[in-house]
């Protein structure tokens, strides 16, 4: 019966040695060279190989140069023996670190992007095989390193003067920190919105796109599949989709319905497909509107039950985002960030002497955009299991009227200056004016047990409100 392979870490982060379960008998041997589930179970990343290559080496002494291709590799042998050598060519503290290992057909090595890979053949007729998670493409340029670089000082078992080396590999440069490979970056979609602006603080150096240009943001129409596909996807480790059509009432109109579905459902499907093809992690921001608001507290596994067009399009977007193998669907509620929002509207009314009537039968929790961004970074940095997570600020559920009163008292007004109305009364007023009105979930409180289990503790909503108003 086959057993699990074993994994050994090295001094180069992400470079691991795999001892395979090779079965020998008088006829030869059998091994599972790559078995996805078993490899993931022992701790290898689910790196999604798309191509299998074989490099056959006729003669002992063949030495392949130290090449740093921009993809992950899983290397092993079909026949023969090699001396493998790896050099960390990535930016960071381990730049220039080396690891060497003699390999036979019972050993494999996972080589992460940015680590230079080389080997020397120790037996005639050695077949070196490797899986990669990106297709080779013409014109690609990547760093190489001299086999006799004095800094890394690889102790080749066969002297290089006796080795068989290509002309190209005899002229590779020495180690140069200026050529160190930068890590892949993030792409923030919807960078000019409340969530997108907050994400920029936690993901510096990201590429920024939105429907319009501005503040270092490139215009991108997410409904233009060719334009989306033309992005430099090989540069992205993470795609943060903070773009959404949030005009919930206008979504009930003919034009609004089309726009809502294009932005909230079709666009996430396009991003999920690109993330799947390029091995990126997709983070998609959703809404408690995907539920009908009848549950006292919404959990991640509650069946979708959207009420209006906006809600239906967001639910479809959740399903689409889930088709990316590496995905986080982050469901949130009542977002407050940079730009127009409920808290700023109430603060403005308080400052101008207005006494509003605010809905009191919709309850939920505020989510400050900075808290949503912090949770996102936590999920990615900790390698939390992929899937759906509820995220909001902590504290008791409150109605919109109660939150308005909290804003008023912090603005020097009396809580009594905020009167109450119901959703039905508010809707009747809107409809009487001939404007559309979308149904709202009355209960928007979400359980955060799942994200807390990853080690994330949400900040209390009122504490965050104090800081937000003080900074405004």
The predicted structure's pLDDT at residue 2: 58
List the catalytic residue out of 119, 128, 130, 468.
130
We report the CATH number of the domain holding residue 83 as 2.60.120.10
If asked whether residues 173 and 194 sit together in one domain, one would say no
Q: Which of 88, 296, 237, 60 is CA-nearest to residue 175?
A: 88
Q: Judge contact between 221 and 211, C-beta under 8 A.
A: yes
The answer on 214 and 173 residing in a single domain is: no
The SS3 call for residue 356 is coil
Q: Are residues 237 and 385 in the same domain?
A: yes
Q: What's residue 134's pLDDT?
A: 86
Shared domain check, 175 and 281: no
Cα–Cα dist 235/280, whole Å: 9
Q: Indicate whether 130 and 171 sit together in one domain.
A: yes
For residue 352, what are the domain limits?
Answer: 185-471
Is residue 29 included in any domain, yes or no?
Answer: yes
The per-residue pLDDT for 48 is 86
Supply 149's token pair: 């670089």
Domain boundary among 155, 179, 203: 179
E strand or H helix at 136: none
Instruction: Tell me: do 277 and 318 sit in the same domain.
Output: yes
> 179, 206, 224 — which closes off a domain?
179
- Regarding whether 140 and 195 lie in a shared domain, the answer is no
Q: Is residue 193 part of a domain?
A: yes
Same domain, 127 and 265: no
Q: Are strands 126-132 and 207-210 parallel, antiparallel or unpaired?
A: unpaired
Smallest Cα–Cα separation from 406: which of 460, 330, 337, 340?
460
Spatial distance between the Cα atoms of 111 and 14, rounded to a whole number of angstroms: 7
Order of strands across the sheet with 281-287? 218-219, 207-210, 185-189, 236-241, 281-287, 327-332, 387-390
The reply to whether 67 belongs to the active site is: yes
- Domain check: are 136 and 247 in the same one? no
Which of 179, 201, 224 corresponds to the end of one domain? Answer: 179
165 and 225 in a single domain? The answer is no
The per-residue pLDDT for 109 is 98
Q: Cα separation of 297 and 28, whole Å? A: 60
Q: Is residue 170 part of a domain?
A: yes
Handedness of CA 352, 355, 357, 360 (dihedral sign): positive
Structural domain contains residue 1: no
- Same domain membership, residue 306 and residue 441: yes
Indicate if 12 and 142 belong to the same structural domain.
yes
For each successive 10 residues of the chain (472 residues), what is the average pLDDT? 83 96 91 92 90 96 94 96 97 95 97 96 97 84 92 96 95 92 94 96 96 90 92 94 96 96 96 93 97 96 96 97 96 95 96 96 97 97 95 97 97 96 93 92 96 97 96 82
Structure tokens that stand for 314 in this block: 């967001």
Residue-level pLDDT at 46 = 87
CATH code at position 244: 3.40.50.720
The yes-or-no answer on residue 130 being catalytic is yes
Q: How many domains, the chain?
A: 2
- C-alpha separations of 42 from 17, 101, 196, 385 in Å: 11, 20, 36, 15
pLDDT at 418: 97
């Amino acid at each position: 019966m086959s057993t699990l392979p074993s994994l050994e870490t090295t001094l180069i982060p992400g470079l691991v040695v795999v001892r395979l379960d090779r079965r020998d008998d008088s006829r030869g041997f059998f091994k599972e060279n790559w078995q996805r589930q078993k490899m993931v179970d022992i701790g290898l990343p689910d790196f999604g190989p798309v191509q299998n290559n074989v490099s056959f080496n006729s003669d002992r002494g063949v030495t392949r140069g130290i090449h740093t291709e921009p993809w992950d590799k899983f290397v092993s042998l079909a026949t023969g023996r090699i001396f493998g050598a790896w050099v960390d060519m990535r930016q960071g503290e381990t730049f220039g670190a080396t690891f060497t290992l003699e390999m036979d057909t019972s050993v494999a090595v996972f080589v992460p992007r940015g680590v230079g890979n080389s080997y020397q053949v120790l037996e005639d007729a050695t077949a070196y095989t490797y899986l990669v998670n990106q297709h080779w493409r013409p014109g690609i340029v990547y760093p190489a390193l001299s086999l006799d670089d004095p800094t890394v000082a690889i102790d080749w078992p066969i002297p290089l003067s006796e080795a068989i080396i290509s002309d190209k590999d005899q002229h590779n440069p020495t180690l140069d920190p200026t050529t160190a490979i930068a890590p892949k970056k993030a792409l923030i979609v919807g960078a000019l919105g409340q969530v997108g602006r907050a994400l920029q603080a936690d993901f510096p150096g990201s590429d920024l796109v939105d429907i319009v240009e501005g503040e270092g943001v490139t215009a991108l129409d997410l409904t233009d599949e060719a334009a989306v596909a033309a992005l430099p996807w090989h540069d992205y480790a993470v795609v943060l989709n903070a773009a959404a059509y949030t005009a919930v009432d206008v979504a009930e109109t003919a034009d609004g319905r089309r726009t809502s579905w294009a932005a909230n459902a079709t666009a996430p499907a396009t991003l999920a497909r690109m993330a799947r093809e390029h091995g990126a992690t997709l983070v998609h921001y959703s809404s408690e509107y995907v539920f009908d608001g009848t549950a006292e507290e919404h959990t991640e596994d509650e069946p979708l039950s959207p009420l209006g067009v906006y809600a239906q399009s967001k639910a479809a977007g959740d399903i689409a985002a889930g088709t990316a193998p590496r995905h986080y669907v982050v469901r949130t509620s009542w977002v407050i960030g940079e730009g127009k929002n409920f808290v700023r509207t109430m603060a403005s009314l308080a400052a101008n002497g207005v006494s509003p009537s605010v809905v009191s039968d919709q309850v939920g929790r505020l989510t400050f955009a900075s808290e949503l961004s912090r949770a996102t970074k936590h999920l990615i940095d900790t390698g939390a299991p992929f899937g759906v997570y509820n995220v909001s600020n902590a504290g008791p559920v409150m109605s919109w009227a109660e939150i308005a009163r909290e804003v008023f008292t912090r603005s020097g007004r009396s809580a009594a200056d905020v009167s109450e109305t119901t959703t039905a009364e508010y809707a009747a007023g809107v409809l009487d004016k001939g404007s559309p009105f979308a149904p709202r979930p009355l209960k928007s409180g979400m359980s955060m047990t799942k994200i807390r289990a990853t080690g994330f503790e949400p900040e209390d909503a009122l504490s965050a409100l104090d800081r937000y108003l003080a900074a405004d």
